[in-house]
Amino acid sequence: MKKSIYEPREDSLLLSDQVRKNAKGVVLDMGTGSGIQAEAALELRQVERVIAVDKNPAAVKHCKRTIKKRKLECYVSDLFAVFKKGKLKGTQFDTIIFNPPYLPADKNKPDMALIGGKKGYEVVERFLADAPHHLKTGGSILLLFSNLTNRHKVEELIKLNGFEFKQLASSRQFFEELFIYQLAKNETAQKLEPMGFSDIHYLDEGQRGVIFTAMHNGRKVAIKIKKPTSEAEGRVRNEGRTLELVNKHGLGPKLLMAKPDLVVYEFVEGVFLKDWLPKARKAQIKPLLRDLLHQGFVLDKLGVAKEEMHRPLKNAIVAKNKVVLIDWERTHQSKKAHNVTQLCQFLMVWRDVLTKKGMRIKDKDVIEAAKAYKQKPSDTTFNAVVKTIDKS
């Protein structure tokens, strides 16, 4: 076998054993090298077709010459490139096998078949970003990597790209430990894809919800589902109902879909308020704070207590010099909603930051205005609160 082709080693044998146990349907052997994984898959009756790809033309030529099986097709491709155009465009697989280059860069060993990038996981990162498009719902990925690849980072990338995983095998080989993970689309992705959602990626999570991003009808959306470990009931449903109400008054991200177990709204491209304030200028901050107070006033008049308005740092996004309030799951109806007075607390807590921007907000003035507003919420008392910003 030519030296330019990755020859079967311990990692190859470890993976081929799992291929024989798990491969089915239409199979993709990514980075086929010697073709050992393709051959293992072709042994199985439940395998209908195998496509083997490699960016190394010598490897593809070798597989075509040495593996004479009707079910096998071989192509030169850098990861999924060959499936983005031509006759193979959009091909999806029941099983994807990948023994990637997974070692961190080493100037003494510049081997394309071994080096996965500067930190070792870059090729895996590129692969996982594209894999959801090419894996059928219900399909699986057999991925091999090493502890030298940064196991924690690989698991983070798996989660980020909408997969769940389980370890199938491991083996210690001198200076490293090898792992084989089986990946499948997570429950959320499997549920949403039939509804027309694509590019589903994990974004963030809190105590009660998990947020994903996706594409739907040509636009980027955010999807919130209940966090499996949360004991709080009805929070996602509550967020959907609240967004439906406040959207009518120009508040919150645009609601697109609400179901008992998930809520979908337009993704807000912007910066969290906590990150925006320290970098903004006084001329930008004053109108934005007025806008934030106005939104609090609208909520008070609607009898909607949003809660956490005394620290709207990660639930307020600045987009195009406007504030968009997010995270509505804890809202509730109240005859004495206190959004404006909570925002007054926020102004005082962040006084030092605002002072550095040239704003002179006096605690005494804010407290007096907040007390008057609390006793009798009205346009007049609200305007008095706003004046504490205007005259700063």
Structural domains of the chain, count: 3
Mean pLDDT across 154-159: 95
pLDDT range class, residue 116, cuts 50, 70, 90? very low
Beta bridge partners of 317: 272, 324
Q: Is 207 in the same domain as 340?
A: no
Confidence of residue 120 (pLDDT cuts 50, 70, 90): low
Residues 277 and 253 placed together within one structural domain of the fold:
no
195: containing domain: 190-266
Per-residue CA distances from 138 to 92, 133, 191 (Å): 11, 13, 11
pLDDT tier at 229, thresholds 50, 70, 90: confident
Q: How far is 300 from 346, CA to CA, in rounded Å?
A: 16
Three-state helix/strand/coil letters over 273-327: HHHHHHHCCHHHHHHHHHHHHHHHHHHHHHCEECCCCCCCCCCEEEECCEEEECC
Token pair of 356 as six digits: 């550095």
Q: How far apart are CA 20 and CA 180, in angstroms?
A: 13
Which of 195, 197, 140 is closest to 163 using CA atoms? 140
d(CA 6, CA 321): 54
| pLDDT confidence band for 108 (50 / 70 / 90) | low
Phi first, then psi: give them for residue 224, nearest 5 degrees: -110, 130
| Per-state percent for the chain, helix, strand, coil, to nearest 5 | 40, 30, 30
**Could you tell me if residue 4 is inside a domain?**
no
Supply the mean pLDDT for the chain. 91
Residue-level pLDDT at 5: 75
Residues 80 and 145 in one domain: yes
pLDDT digits (tens, 9 = 90+) for 175-221: 889 999 999 999 889 989 999 999 999 999 888 889 999 999 999 99
Cα dihedral 146, 151, 156, 157 in deg (nearest 10): -10
pLDDT cut 70: percent of the chain above it: 94
- Mark which of 266, 285, 300 sits at the end of a domain: 266
Please list the residues that pair with 49 across neighbouring strands. Answer: 26
Of 266, 289, 311, the last residue of a domain is: 266
Asked whether residue 27 falls in the same domain as residue 120, the answer is yes
CATH number at residue 315: 1.10.510
Percent of the chain having pLDDT more than 90? 79
Let me know whether 260 and 286 are in one domain: no
DSSP label of 92: -
Distance (Å, whole) CA 67 – CA 33: 12
pLDDT of the residue at 58: 93
Residue 80 within a domain: yes
Which neighbouring-strand residues pair with 50? 27, 72
pLDDT at 208: 84
Measured distance CA(49)–CA(96) in Å, rounded: 12
Report the run of H or E that residue 343 belongs to, with start and end: helix 339-349
Does residue 324 lie in a domain region? yes
Taking only the tens place, the pLDDT of each residue in 32-88 is 999 999 999 999 999 999 999 999 999 999 999 999 888 999 999 999 999 999 999
Q: What does the alpha-carbon distance between residue 172 and residue 177 come to, in Å, rounded to a whole number?
A: 4
Q: Is residue 2 part of a domain?
A: no
Q: Per-residue DSSP letters for 176-218?
A: EEEEEEEEEE-HHHHHHGGGT-EEEEEEEE-SSEEEEEEEETT
pLDDT exceeds 70 at position 111? no
CB within 8 A of 39, min separation 6: which ones?
16, 67
Q: Are residues 98 and 219 in the same domain?
A: no
The reply to whether 5 falls in a domain is: no
DSSP three-state, residue 96: strand
Residue after which a domain boundary falls, among 242, 266, 290:
266
For the stretch 237-296, pLDDT in tens is 999 999 999 999 999 999 999 998 899 999 999 999 999 999 999 999 999 999 999 999
CB neighbourhood size of 235 (10 A): 20
Instruction: Write down the pTM of the prediction.
Output: 0.79
**3, part of any domain:** no
- Tell whether 50 and 65 lie within a shared domain: yes
Burial (CB count <10 Å: 0-12, 13-18, 19+), residue 82: middle
